[in-house]
């Protein structure tokens, strides 16, 4: 029998990047070519709150129902082709989803072994944990949970991949996971396939990066990619496949005949997506993303190697959500001349009707300027005044608020109209990230026969988490020459996203000369100048020299997370493209080499 060390790479295709992603992706992954494992990522911080709301209405809910739709379409073929399935679609009820999959399999007449993972849900134990002295301190704000008057509705620890590996080793064909880390789906499948040990940190780190790259589906294959001119095939991108070798190196590719692009750029973009420090912490290993070497192997294959790993931290991250209250937003349209004066009048008049801004827990007012001088069309003469109010009392922000906005229709500024009719209040959640000792969490696999296996945690290193900026030993040599004010995007690509209340923007370039200039030019101070909305917030810069990349992290840019953010772009998806559009002195030689 061939030893695990010399087994061929495992082909892992990811067919879901979020709850609501392309339903047909599973079918396309099964039909498009050979794969050994199909993974699916359905969870995010916001998704856990959505699933909690669903379970409030139906105690048997709490999982991603779209996964069952996909299994209806492909389960028979997956069994015929011996394709394993590993997903985190279990959400808040992995046992319930596992039972539904078994029921579906019986209806389809196929025999599958379904295991699920438990232990992430520590909500029932929060009071005991705090009584034992665990402070559940907010990772970004440094506030103890006990110091605020809130009652979390969900609390889920990010588990690692060894439970998945144990489930597969126990004969599972399908592994239903709750809140494991996004990368754990690939880590567990790779560790099972290759027979890795707990201390194979470099191999594990490589699989973490592979999982991170493919977790968001076609974002790694040309989707959401700033270098749009490079994407020649504009058909819907093929979902990504990671071919993970025994040493943790891997190739990113996609099925033949599918749209999109697999390039050093598309892979680099996803490496930088939603990251903070280059030391990327997972429950099984700390993966040092800045050690990765990314190379084009052929037209549709990118090889990633040299990823270094070190022991994990002794703590696990826990994502909590609590109900922050109720919110409502109305957007008034301002047209033509005197936009700012109209906005000021509308604001003053509105809050005179409502009894002042202090009548609400929180008020957010944004004037969004789309107007231009001598507009050619009506649309080009308009701006939006977006007013959001929040309060623990629903009545204050319900129709009492949106109705007050409509009172300005005949007694306010000229041209008044709104983008929507009067709206009703909605409940919003607040995200609270914290740490708990790994020893306080029971990571359990429930095998198909009902037997339970407790998964030990890998011995870790105390406080392996680092938030300091990184440096290189010396700045790259740069002799830029004459400059002209141009968009930063003339010489740099970007990808941005959210991490709780933080936003991150990864910026990279493609030649050594451009990297030398970017390294010296795009300082924290220059970034803050180009992104004025970051004023007053902590901005950190991390360096990825192997990728010719910088990563900027803005603390608090999204407030208390996506569910409560009042920004029009609540997940900072467009922040990178905004940065690329900003003008700055760019060396002429770098634009026209």
SS3 122: coil
pLDDT at 176: 98
Distances, alpha carbon 391 to alpha carbons 371, 385, 396, 428, 567, in Å: 32, 20, 7, 10, 17
Closest CA to 553 of 567, 541, 537: 541
DSSP state for residue 300 in the 8-state scheme: T
Task: Give the residue among 291, 284, 289, 256 at the shortest CA–CA distance from 270.
Answer: 289
Q: Is the pTM value of this prediction over 0.85? A: yes
Enumerate the β-bridge partners of residue 280.
287
**Res 1: pLDDT:** 32
Q: Residue 310 and residue 462: Cα distance in Å, rounded?
A: 12
Q: Is the pLDDT of residue 367 over 90?
A: yes
Stretch 18-29: mean pLDDT: 97
Structure-block tokens of residue 517: 């200039």
How confident is the model over 392-450, as pLDDT tens digits? 999 999 999 999 999 999 999 999 999 999 999 999 999 999 999 999 999 999 999 99
Does 475 or 98 have the greater pLDDT score?
Answer: 98
Q: What is the pLDDT of residues 232-281, one digit of tens each?
A: 999 999 999 999 999 999 999 999 999 999 999 999 999 999 999 999 99
Q: At 170, list the tokens.
A: 């126990």
Q: Which residues pair with 122 in a beta bridge?
A: none
Tell me what percent of the residues of the chain surpass a pLDDT of 90: 93
Q: Binning pLDDT at 50, 70 and 90, where does residue 153 land?
A: very high
**Average of per-residue pLDDT values in the chain:** 95
Which of the four pLDDT bands, split at 50, 70 and 90, describes residue 472?
A: low
CA angle 436, 162, 286 (to 5 degrees): 60
What whole-number percentage of the chain has pLDDT above 70? 97
| pLDDT at residue 225 greater than cutoff 70 | yes
Torsion of CA 282, 18, 22, 327, to 10 degrees: -170
- How confident is the model over 19-28, as a mean pLDDT? 97
pLDDT of residue 45: 85
For residue 557, which of 38, 140, 128, 92 has the smallest C-alpha distance?
A: 140
Q: How far apart are the C-alpha atoms of 379 and 383, rounded to whole Å?
A: 9
Predicted local distance difference test score (pLDDT) of residue 463: 64
Query: Is pLDDT at 3 greater than 90 in this prediction?
Result: no
Position 593 confidence tier, pLDDT thresholds 50, 70, 90 = low
Identify the pLDDT of residue 563.
87
Rg of the Cα atoms in the chain: 25
552 near 272, Cβ under 8 Å?
A: no
Mean pLDDT of 356-364: 97
Q: Return the pLDDT at 478.
A: 72
pLDDT at 2: 42
Question: Per-residue pLDDT tens for 272-308?
Answer: 999 999 999 999 999 999 999 999 999 999 999 999 9
Q: What is the pLDDT of residue 468?
A: 53
Q: How confident is the model at residue 62 (pLDDT cuts 50, 70, 90)?
A: very high
Residue carrying structure tokens 């696999």: 445
Angstrom distances, CA of residue 29 to CA of 15, 85, 90, 189, 258: 7, 12, 21, 17, 10
- β-strands 84-87, 37-40: how paired? parallel
- Render pLDDT for 64-74 as a digit per residue (tens, 0 to 9): 999 999 999 99
Average pLDDT on 32-40 reads 98
In Å, what is the CA distance from 228 to each residue of 17, 232, 233, 260, 370? Answer: 21, 8, 10, 10, 24
How would residue 462 be classed by pLDDT, with cut points 50, 70 and 90? confident
Q: What is the pLDDT of residues 480-533, one digit of tens each?
A: 789 999 999 999 999 999 989 999 999 999 999 999 999 999 999 999 999 999
The 10s digit of each residue's pLDDT in 573-586 is 999 999 999 999 99
Better pLDDT: 197 or 6? 197
């Amino acid at each position: 029998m061939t030893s695990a060390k010399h087994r061929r790479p495992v082909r892992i295709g990811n067919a879901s990047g979020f709850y609501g992603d392309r339903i047909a992706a599973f079918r396309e992954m099964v039909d498009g070519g050979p794969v050994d494992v199909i993974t699916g990522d359905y969870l995010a911080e916001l998704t856990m709150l959505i699933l909690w709301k669903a379970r409030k209405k139906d105690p048997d809910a709490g999982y991603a129902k779209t996964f069952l739709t996909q299994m209806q379409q492909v389960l028979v073929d997956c069994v015929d082709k011996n394709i394993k399935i590993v997903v985190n679609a279990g959400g808040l009820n992995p046992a319930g989803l596992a039972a539904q999959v078994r029921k579906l399999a019986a209806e389809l007449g196929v025999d599958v072994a379904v295991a699920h993972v438990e232990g992430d849900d520590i909500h029932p134990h929060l009071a005991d944990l705090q009584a034992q002295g665990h402070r559940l301190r907010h990772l970004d704000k440094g506030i103890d949970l006990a110091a605020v008057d809130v009652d979390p509705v969900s609390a889920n620890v990010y588990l690692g991949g060894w439970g998945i590996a144990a489930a597969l080793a126990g004969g599972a064909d399908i592994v239903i996971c709750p809140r494991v880390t996004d990368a754990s789906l690939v880590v567990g499948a790779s560790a099972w396939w290759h027979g890795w040990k707990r201390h194979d940190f470099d191999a594990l780190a490589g699989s973490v990066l592979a999982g991170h790259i493919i977790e968001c589906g076609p974002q790694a294959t040309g989707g959401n990619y700033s270098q749009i001119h490079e994407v020649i095939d504009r058909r819907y991108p093929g979902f990504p496949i990671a071919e993970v070798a025994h040493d943790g190196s891997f190739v990113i590719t996609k099925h033949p005949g599918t749209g999109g692009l697999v390039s050093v750029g598309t892979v680099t973009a996803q490496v930088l997506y939603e990251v903070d420090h280059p030391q990327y912490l997972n429950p099984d290993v700390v993966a040092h993303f800045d050690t990765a070497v990314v190379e084009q192997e052929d037209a549709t294959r990118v090889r990633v190697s040299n990823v270094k790993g070190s022991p994990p931290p002794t703590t696990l991250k826990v994502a909590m959500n609590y109900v922050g209250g109720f919110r409502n937003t109305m957007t008034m349209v301002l047209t033509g001349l005197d936009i700012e004066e109209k906005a000021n009048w509308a604001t003053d008049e509105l809050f005179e009707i409502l009894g002042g801004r202090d009548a609400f827990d929180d008020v957010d007012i944004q004037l969004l300027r789309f107007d231009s001088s001598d507009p050619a069309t009506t649309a080009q003469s308009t701006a939006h005044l977006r007013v959001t109010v929040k309060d623990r009392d629903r009545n204050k922000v319900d129709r009492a608020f949106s109705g007050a906005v409509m009172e300005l229709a005949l007694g306010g500024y000229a041209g008044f109209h709104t983008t929507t009719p009067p709206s009703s209040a909605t409940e919003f959640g607040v995200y609270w990230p914290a740490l708990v000792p790994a020893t306080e969490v029971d990571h359990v696999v429930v095998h198909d026969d009902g037997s339970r296996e407790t998964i030990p945690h890998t011995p870790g290193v105390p406080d392996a988490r680092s938030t300091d900026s990184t440096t290189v030993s010396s700045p790259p040599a740069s002799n830029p020459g004459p400059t002209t004010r141009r968009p930063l995007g003339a010489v740099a690509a970007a990808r941005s996203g959210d991490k709780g209340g933080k936003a991150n923007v990864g910026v990279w370039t493609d030649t050594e000369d451009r990297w030398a200039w970017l390294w010296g030019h795009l300082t924290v101070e220059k970034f803050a100048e180009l992104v004025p909305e970051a004023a007053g917030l902590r901005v950190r810069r991390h360096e990825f020299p192997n990728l010719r990349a910088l990563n900027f992290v803005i603390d608090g840019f999204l407030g208390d997370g996506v569910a409560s953010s009042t920004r029009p772009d609540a997940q900072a998806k467009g922040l990178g493209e905004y940065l690329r559009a900003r003008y700055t002195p760019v060396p002429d030689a770098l634009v026209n080499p």
